[in-house]
Chain A
């Protein structure tokens, strides 16, 4: 008993020691990773985290870091829980010689909580394809970068694809479209855009919530069977997605009328449902699965040497998304270095780097991401950089791209962004920046 108490005490001392003095000043860029490799969302969290880590390791192995500044990174397990995410953020934000470069929480809930904290700590948030849709407005949200696409982009593109399938926007009248969504900020985000679209195009919109974590969906799909909507949009994450597909099959709802968001369109979402998934469609956050030029380097520098953390998820959808996430982040660091010199960047400098990031087609090709990403350019007004997406379909074995790029309709989304950002600004008493005065 006494020995155990002593051991416990020693453990506690050791634990507090870990929060001790920071690392000595070195030529290292610290990048934090909030991951979830456990819990109900782990099947989707793991490939993404692997992609993020692999790209950073690749830069270190191949180029010796970013412009000679070595990347050091540390993962912190959030389990997709907001309070744990906040703890991880506090734990990691001050590490390394200049603190964390940027955060990517991969959780809309954590993004909401951190959005209030990052302005004080001066660390940018890179939320690629998730988070607050109105944070596209960089004047009100200087620290948020909702790169590549927001949920409103996704909602708009999904409706455009449905319109194309039914033969034009005028045919959308008296159609019924239902949204099956994860009952959290994540799932609720698209509703505003879908309601705006419903008003414009005259279809009947119905939102059907599914409680976290989403393994219980019988009643929702029974109501869909009763209601017979022409299309079902799926806004799920983790185990909820495959459950939805199984339930759709159980009530005999055609899978090719179900369109998932890009967080419902990866391999872990369809494989558990087996053959029942065939025909299911999902949006693409521009990229799909498969190997591109960057994967050749990954295989050469990491996989062959056993340095890659990924196993069977290599070149899967979410792994590739992790790669792109890290690429955009490190390119922002590189852009910042152009202004501030080749040394470790602070969060504030990285923020400038994001805002002035211009990924041209040539640069994307040079980085080995051609075919995965369209040109992307942030500015003070636009923290999203791009608003195009495609649709893919699961044929039972692999994802096949079935559409060309759609561009989200700015006429509908821009006023929505302005309105919601203005509401946030008044609520939080933020004075919007004047973008014409930013350099």
Chain B
């Protein structure tokens, strides 16, 4: 009843081809965007609960947005193109460190002639950093033409370890800092320094909105269909005239590009100062879990998965204290592990295809409600 599209007639091709064909979806999207772009800044301005202080923005919403972006990136590769990757952390790291290098000036001593690029503003450095990530993604995507499934996961795992090693060992990337930890340059966008939590939040939101829209559009177009065909059966796709080289490498490139942007944002906007440990194998797994829990092959799922994996442990961590239960922090943190782990198991048994599928089922139910079928 709530989701019935009865009476919504498509009278033009444009209307038929829009991203969200159902009116309710469009309204929901606009409401979400309005809340995100107007509501939250307004609540923050008024310091209304739960936006009193900066905790909600700085510790929940900003990391949530950035990791959602990373999950979208991985979802394109794993969910849409079917290429299992454990190298998300590495691609994020490449985005972060390249952006750092571009932001602080690149100087490559090549013996006879030196290559020097002066420090670039933040926006070009983030985008160039993401381009570097895309480039490396293509490089590590080449093996995907020969190997599949778990074997490809091992190959991308190699990328993860290799780049962990590179950013710890090669001092050039950290500008020869004695400690190997680097800190982000000023977030100066066209003369405006992004500093307050709400500015940082809006910055992430803009990036996430643009890339989510791009991704949503890509996956329903020609290229997205190529990816999905490759995912579903690569031999059949090849027989239909889809070039696997092109389909797989574009997936690797675009996915790495988005993950590179996410990595740069994670480093510049959320952490401020970081070390390679911020992009360790744990990060790769975290993002892979987000994609699996959220739903493979769904943009919405990336957001839901990120919320589940990131926000749930933080929320659970605070429940005993908020309720005034006097248990020690170590017990709480063990409990969080137990509860989150159990929930993941339970969820995967009940709905192996993740939150996105749950949402689809819900939509179906709402459509027929109050009749059972």
Task: List residues of A whose CB falls within 8 A of some B CB.
Answer: 1, 11-12, 14-22, 35, 37-38, 42, 46, 74-77, 79, 81-83, 86-87, 90-91, 94, 108-109, 112-113, 115-117, 120, 132, 183-185, 188-189, 191-192, 209, 212, 309, 420, 427-429
Residues of B within 8 A of A79 (CB): 333
Residue of B nearest to A1 (CB): B350
In the complex, are the beta carbons of A38 and B334 less than 8 A apart? Answer: yes
**Residues in B338-354 with C-beta less than 8 Å from chain A:** 350
Compute how far the CA of A227 lies from the CA of B317 in the bound complex, rounded to whole angstroms: 48
A-B contact pairs, 23 of them (CB 8 A): A11-B315, A11-B319, A14-B319, A15-B319, A16-B50, A21-B49, A37-B329, A38-B334, A75-B328, A77-B329, A77-B333, A82-B271, A83-B278, A91-B55, A94-B54, A109-B275, A112-B273, A112-B275, A113-B272, A115-B183, A116-B272, A185-B179, A189-B178
Residues of A within 8 A of B184 (CB): 116
Compute how far the CA of A427 lies from the CA of B329 in the bound complex, rounded to whole angstroms: 38
User: Considering residues A108, A115, A188, A212, which has the most beta carbons from chain B within 10 angstroms of its beta carbon?
Assistant: A188
Say how far A99's CB is from chain B's closest CB, in angstroms: 9
Say how far A336's CB is from chain B's closest CB, in angstroms: 22
Known interface pairs A82-B271, A429-B186. Does A74 touch B321 (Cβ–Cβ under 8 Å)? yes
Residues of B within 8 A of A113 (CB): 271-274
In the complex, are the beta carbons of A87 and B181 less than 8 A apart? Answer: no
The dominant DSSP class at the A interface is: helix
In the complex, are the beta carbons of B330 and A112 less than 8 A apart? Answer: no
Residues of A within 8 A of B271 (CB): 82-83, 86, 113
Sorted nearest first, the 7 A-B pairs with minimum C-beta distance are A18-B322, A15-B315, A37-B330, A90-B59, A185-B179, A116-B272, A94-B53
Residues of B within 8 A of A183 (CB): 168
Compute how far the CA of A46 lies from the CA of B333 in the bound complex, rounded to whole angstroms: 14
In the complex, are the beta carbons of A108 and B179 less than 8 A apart? Answer: yes
Compute how far the CA of A82 lies from the CA of B272 in the bound complex, rounded to whole angstroms: 11
Residues of A within 8 A of B55 (CB): 19, 90-91, 94
Residues of B within 8 A of A21 (CB): 49, 52
Residues of B within 8 A of A115 (CB): 183, 273
In the complex, are the beta carbons of A77 and B332 less than 8 A apart? Answer: yes
In the complex, are the beta carbons of B333 and A15 less than 8 A apart? Answer: no
In the complex, are the beta carbons of A12 and B315 less than 8 A apart? Answer: yes
The dominant DSSP class at the B interface is: helix
Known: A109-B275, A189-B179. 6 other contacts (CB 8 A): A16-B50, A21-B52, A37-B330, A74-B321, A109-B181, A188-B179
User: Considering residues B56, B168, B181, which has the most beta carbons from chain A within 10 angstroms of its beta carbon?
Assistant: B181
Interface residue B270 (Cβ < 8 Å from any Cβ of A): yes
Residue of A nearest to B59 (CB): A90
Interface residue B260 (Cβ < 8 Å from any Cβ of A): no
Residues of A within 8 A of B52 (CB): 20-22, 94
A109 contact from B277, B321, B323, B330, Cβ within 8 A: B277
In the complex, are the beta carbons of B322 and A37 less than 8 A apart? Answer: no
In the complex, are the beta carbons of A18 and B319 less than 8 A apart? Answer: yes
Known interface pairs A37-B328, A113-B274. Does A192 touch B178 (Cβ–Cβ under 8 Å)? yes
Compute how far the CA of A332 lies from the CA of B334 in the bound complex, rounded to whole angstroms: 34
Residues of A within 8 A of B273 (CB): 112-113, 115-116
Say how far B339's CB is from chain A's closest CB, in angstroms: 9
Residues of A within 8 A of B330 (CB): 37-38, 42, 46, 77
Compute how far the CA of A16 lies from the CA of B61 in the bound complex, rounded to whole angstroms: 13
Indicate with 1 or 0, residue by residue over B262-301, a CB within 8 angstroms of chain A CB atoms.
Answer: 0000000011111101100000000000000000000000
Say how far A138's CB is from chain B's closest CB, in angstroms: 19
Compute how far the CA of A94 lies from the CA of B57 in the bound complex, rounded to whole angstroms: 13
Say how far A221's CB is from chain B's closest CB, in angstroms: 20
In the complex, are the beta carbons of A18 and B318 less than 8 A apart? Answer: yes
In the complex, are the beta carbons of A75 and B180 less than 8 A apart? Answer: no
Indicate with 1 or 0, residue by residue over B47-73, a CB within 8 angstroms of chain A CB atoms.
Answer: 001101111101100010000000000
Residues of A within 8 A of B333 (CB): 37-38, 77, 79
Say how far A185's CB is from chain B's closest CB, in angstroms: 4
Interface residue B40 (Cβ < 8 Å from any Cβ of A): no
Residues of B within 8 A of A74 (CB): 321
Residue of B nearest to A99 (CB): B53
Residues of B within 8 A of A38 (CB): 330, 333-334
In the complex, are the beta carbons of A188 and B178 less than 8 A apart? Answer: yes
A90 contact from B49, B54, B328, Cβ within 8 A: B54
Say how far A237's CB is from chain B's closest CB, in angstroms: 13
Say how far A219's CB is from chain B's closest CB, in angstroms: 14
Residues of B within 8 A of A209 (CB): 168
Residues of A within 8 A of B104 (CB): 427
Residue of B nearest to A94 (CB): B53
Residue of B nearest to A46 (CB): B330
Interface residue B314 (Cβ < 8 Å from any Cβ of A): yes
Residues of A within 8 A of B56 (CB): 19
**Residues in B177-210 with C-beta less than 8 Å from chain A:** 178-181, 183-186, 195
Indicate with 1 or 0, residue by residue over B82-121, a CB within 8 angstroms of chain A CB atoms.
Answer: 0000000000000000000000100000000000000000
Residues of B within 8 A of A46 (CB): 330
Residue of B nearest to A195 (CB): B178
In the complex, are the beta carbons of B275 and A184 less than 8 A apart? Answer: yes
In the complex, are the beta carbons of A112 and B183 less than 8 A apart? Answer: yes
Interface residue B316 (Cβ < 8 Å from any Cβ of A): yes
Say how far B277's CB is from chain A's closest CB, in angstroms: 6
Residue of A nearest to B53 (CB): A94
Residues of A within 8 A of B179 (CB): 108, 112, 132, 185, 188-189
